[in-house]
Chains A and B, each alone.
Chain A
């Protein structure tokens, strides 16, 4: 079964808008939550990651919000740009096990 559920499947945002992608998990042993960005023909690249001891992490235009009690986390992309058009994957893993469980991906399109 899917250990990390991701929504929406696709997202269209105007340039300058905010893109929001949501993920939920069931396994409370997960303690590392990265987001990956994947362009066509490329492998996923780490964008930003968070651990459950903080509720928010910001790096430039990218912010992760984390809700431990709800077992949910989300990626916010502020001032979205056409160059942000890509597929975004949330993922999760546990300490001592470096294998990542990925969501199903969100295809983001930013319209100029």
Chain B
């Protein structure tokens, strides 16, 4: 049973560019959440997708957007990259968004913005 997978593992971009990160949820899961983890900090919630719609959003600007596909996989897009966007981006999957089911995290994509 495959767990949560994310691609790519590492990415280097320059300021102003756009980036797309991808996530495949654990088998059987229908809800995907994205988190940003800055170096030495805890993960911070960006947004959550369920039934191909954004259901919840954390305190992140509109430069951060996402998408969920019919197969439950998800993308995180960040436009107009800033140096401060450098972080580990984590995807977490779960079943049933409102039931506080266990969230399973992927290994993350490490983004470096130069």
Q: Which residues of A does B touch, CB under 8 Å?
A: 4, 6, 32, 34, 36, 41-46, 49, 89, 91, 93, 95-105
Q: Are A43 and B97 in contact (CB under 8 A)?
A: no
Q: Are B45 and A43 in contact (CB under 8 A)?
A: no
Q: Are A105 and B90 in contact (CB under 8 A)?
A: no
Q: 17 A-B Cβ contacts within 8 A?
A: A36-B105, A41-B107, A43-B107, A43-B108, A44-B43, A46-B103, A89-B42, A98-B56, A98-B94, A98-B98, A98-B99, A98-B100, A98-B101, A102-B42, A103-B42, A104-B40, A104-B42
Distance between Cα atoms of A109 and B89 in the complex (Å): 25
Within 8 A of A (CB), among B1-57: 4, 31, 33, 35, 40-45, 48, 56
* 9 residue pairs, one from A and one from B, having the closest CB atoms: A102-B42, A43-B105, A99-B45, A32-B100, A96-B98, A44-B105, A98-B97, A102-B43, A43-B107
Q: Which of A41, A49, A98, A104 interacts with B33 by CB under 8 Å?
A: A98
Q: Are B42 and A98 in contact (CB under 8 A)?
A: no
Task: Kindly list chain A residues whose C-beta atoms are within 8 Å of the C-beta of B92.
Answer: 43
Q: Which residues of B does A touch, CB under 8 Å?
A: 4, 31, 33, 35, 40-45, 48, 56, 58, 90, 92, 94, 97-108
Distance between Cα atoms of A4 and B56 in the complex (Å): 19
Q: Interface on chain A toward B: helix, strand, loop, or mixed SS?
A: strand
Task: Kindly list chain B residues whose C-beta atoms are within 8 Å of the C-beta of A91.
Answer: 42
